Amino acid sequence: MTASTLFAGDRHKHGDQKCFFCGGNCDETFLSAEYIKDTFTNRDIVKCPGSEYVCAGCVDSIGWGDGEMIMLDGIVKKRSNDKGMAPRMYSWLLTTDKKLAFTKAHIGIIREIITENQPEPPFSIILADSGQKHLIFRAPIAMSKTEFPVMLEEEMIIVKPSLLQDRINLALPIVAAIGKSALLDELTFNAFIAFEKYHCNTVSL
């Protein structure tokens, strides 16, 4: 099973072939030659570069998306033109029976899912940042709720929910005082001053 298999849902067709992109099993419905441009140079990131076939999930995920998309908050987004529905532009929560898209506007919901309300395995969580890269076929599958991989852009992160929640609790008061971008750099004396002014102490730093 791959994240692409979850993305395809009922469209996935089992077979004796391996998908060029994700390496999952597939039939011979989709030929890789039809989906790989001559300019494609990322053979180092595909799972089966010698395969002549592509699975339905990879066909769907590298394309322009369906006519409608269910968001993480339950809102159904419908296509109004030829743009804006490409799967690469969204983050995803994939399970055996759900395919939910989300954006940075849903950060509170996905944070709760990752730290407290993980779906039943197998599942896959893909966090897109740039919206320019095809991540689904590269994403790992989670088989446990206590420790599982999450795809963050091109990086795979192993998450321990309780430990992550502790780090979030530690970071939130700092972010409130100095901002997210400043937290990515080494803390400066000005950061200490800003934190003290905001919280009236420097204990957390």
Whether residue 125 sits in one domain with residue 102: yes
Whether residue 100 sits in one domain with residue 18: yes
What's the pLDDT at 201? 63
Whether residue 192 sits in one domain with residue 104: no
Task: State the Cα–Cα distance between residues 59 and 4, nearest whole angstrom.
Answer: 9
Instruction: Report the number of distinct structural domains present in the chain.
Output: 2
Whether residue 68 sits in one domain with residue 56: yes
Report residue 83's pLDDT band, with 50, 70 and 90 as the boundaries.
low
Whether residue 52 sits in one domain with residue 80: yes
pLDDT tens profile 92-137: 999 999 999 999 999 999 999 999 999 999 999 999 999 899 999 9
Q: Which domain holds residue 123?
A: 3-159
Whether residue 134 sits in one domain with residue 111: yes
Q: What pTM, to 2 d.p., does this model score?
A: 0.85
Whether residue 181 sits in one domain with residue 148: no
The secondary structure of residue 28, as a DSSP letter, is S
Whether residue 152 sits in one domain with residue 171: no
DSSP assignments along 142-172, one per residue: B--SSSEEEEETTEEEEE-HHHHHHHHHHHH
**Residue 205 forms part of a structural domain:** no
What's the pLDDT at 192? 73
**Residue 25 forms part of a structural domain:** yes
**Residue 204 forms part of a structural domain:** no
**Residue 154 forms part of a structural domain:** yes
The mean pLDDT value for 81-97 works out to: 89
Whether residue 69 sits in one domain with residue 44: yes
Given its phi and psi angles, is residue 11 left (phi above 0), alpha (psi -120 to 50 degrees) or beta? alpha
Is residue 199's pLDDT more than 80? Answer: no
Sign of torsion, CA 129 63 124 116?
positive
Whether residue 46 sits in one domain with residue 68: yes
